[in-house]
Chains A and B, each alone.
Chain A
Amino acid sequence: MANFLLWAWLGGLMIAAVAGPLGSFMVWRRMAYFGDTLAHAALLGVALGLLLQVNISLAVVLVCLLLALLLSTLVHKRIIATDTLLGILSHASLSLGLVSLSLFDHQSIDLMGFLFGDLLAIGQHDLLWIALACCLVLVILVSIWTPLLSITVNEELAQVEGINVAWMRTLLMLLVAVVIAVAMKVVGVLLITSLLIIPAAAARRLSSSPEQMALLASLLGMLAVTGGLALSWFYDTPAGPSVVVIASTLFFLLFSFPRSFRLS
């Protein structure tokens, strides 16, 4: 097997493993559209990173986090309905990113790569960064699992019980921002949310506990990455979208199972 395929596969597997539990939280907390908005903002981060000549991943994390904080402030102030607000910010940041990227030299920027991912371009160096980021996210996620679950069930109850709800929410957004920054390589900003949401949603039907769903989502995500890469290898299809196609297929397959079917 070619080396670049191995790197792509390993990188994809690691991201899928982290996307499982994180995506589960996004599904439970109805953050799908929110994740989309952040992912679109990642493009703006790329532009900013190029402009200021800093590490692109770092710029993406920062921009995503800033937007997340701005979003939660605006939602809190109830200026306008949340879905409308997300719709505005999502496309505004995407367009702003596209416009600012167009100002750079066209040769040096792989716009399609940013939009739809370039899994097969992952090198050893990228792999190291993906591994580090994934480990960090996973460690933090595991250590705050219970309070995070508590605020997901009911924020007021959690707060009365002594959990710092605002801090937990910010931390979750930070983790999403980090995963978006690394997953951008794999599926691109337009498809990142699908890698987070689809495996988790597919796992729901089979799970009877939150942990089960998170774990199963990881496994399904890894399966989708493997299948997508195979599809891409044998039929020369774009890797990122292939992964998403396989994930969606898994979702529809699992949802055609009878409702009563559960892992015990």
Chain B
Amino acid sequence: MSEVLLSATDLGVKRGNRWLIKGVDISLEAGQITTVIGPNGAGKSTLVRSLLNLIKTTSGDITTIKGLRIGYMPQKLKLEDTLPLTVARFLDLGRHKQHQLSPQLWHDLLHECRADKLLNHPMQQLSGGETQRILLLRALLRKPHLLVLDEPVQGVDVTGQVSLYNLIGQVRNILGCGILMVSHDLHLVMAATDQVICLNQHICCSGHPEQVSQDPAFTDLFGPQGAGNLALYNHQHNHHHTSHGDIIAGEHHEGCDHG
């Protein structure tokens, strides 16, 4: 087992009379990708924000290793037009005085994030996908032990989503950091994940992706349709797609329902 970077027990956040999350136990390890999935309003962002100490928790304890450096990629970045800020300057703001990437690694990541040509652009002129890549790059600048991504592919088209998830996987391999990711997208995330946590105020089920997708609680949460779609992803090798994305009929195994 690798080093536990951050663990929380019995985490709860109450606003008014309503528990946004309750009784959540979570443990994040170095080199592991943990994905939190759940329907809208399940408390995914609340969980992440309470782990980051951005909001007050009502119950529970959070323990971290000493000097834990977190790289955080917020859901979106809203920048005032009145602030003249280039991409390079924005990235500079995220640099850590002591812990910096080696020039080689910085160069590699800059290239991986396809940010080399964006450095002199004003932040406000970036597209959605470009903004997300720059946010990811900034989170990486501090050589984080733990990378926290709140819906990293928001506002990115499907092709961009696939490449962004690939990028995140590569980052884990390069930096060896732990990753906590929030998503409501079941399909793309599962492939690149070591641990899945299904959240709906409390943890419905958790474990390896295959394990979770078999769990009745998972089917309850996303409905047979959603869960079936996921099975489709897992069994993708059973069929092929034409260049238009239509499914070519082949031998299907049970549970592979294309509706």
Contact = CB atoms under 8 A, between A and B. Distances in A.
Interface string A127-138: 000000000000
Interface in B27-84: 49, 52-54, 70, 72, 74, 77, 79-80, 82-84
Interface in A113-168: 146, 149-150, 152-154, 156-157, 159-161
B86 interface: yes
B85 interface: yes
A204 B84 contact: yes
Interface in B99-122: 122
B90 interface: yes
A159 B138 CA distance: 14
A126 B208 CA distance: 71
B184 interface: no
A159 B148 CA distance: 14
Which of B49, B94, B148 has the most A CB atoms < 10 Å from its CB? B94
B256 to A, nearest CB: 42
A233 to B, nearest CB: 33
B72 A160 contact: yes
A27 interface: yes
Interface string A7-35: 00000000000000000000111100000
A159 B49 CA distance: 11
B93 interface: yes
B93 A149 contact: yes
B54 A159 contact: yes
Which of B82, B122, B138 has the most A CB atoms < 10 Å from its CB? B82
A28 B80 contact: yes
A1 B159 CA distance: 70
Contacts of A191: none
Contacts of A159: 52-54
B84 A207 contact: yes
Given A150-B93, A153-B85, A153-B93, A160 B80 contact: no
Nearest to B123: A153
A213 B82 CA distance: 10
Nearest to A204: B82
B86 A153 contact: no
B142 interface: yes
A209 interface: yes
A213 B81 CA distance: 13
Contacts of A160: 52, 54, 70, 72, 148
Nearest to B148: A160
A157 B74 contact: yes
B94 A201 contact: no
Contacts of A27: 82
B85 A30 contact: no
Contact of A161 (B77, B80, B86, B94): B94
A73 interface: no
Nearest to A160: B72
Interface of B: 49, 52-54, 70, 72, 74, 77, 79-80, 82-86, 89-90, 93-94, 96, 122, 138, 142, 148
Given A153-B77, A161-B142, 13 more contacts: A28-B83, A153-B83, A153-B93, A154-B74, A156-B49, A157-B74, A157-B138, A159-B54, A160-B148, A201-B82, A208-B84, A210-B84, A210-B85
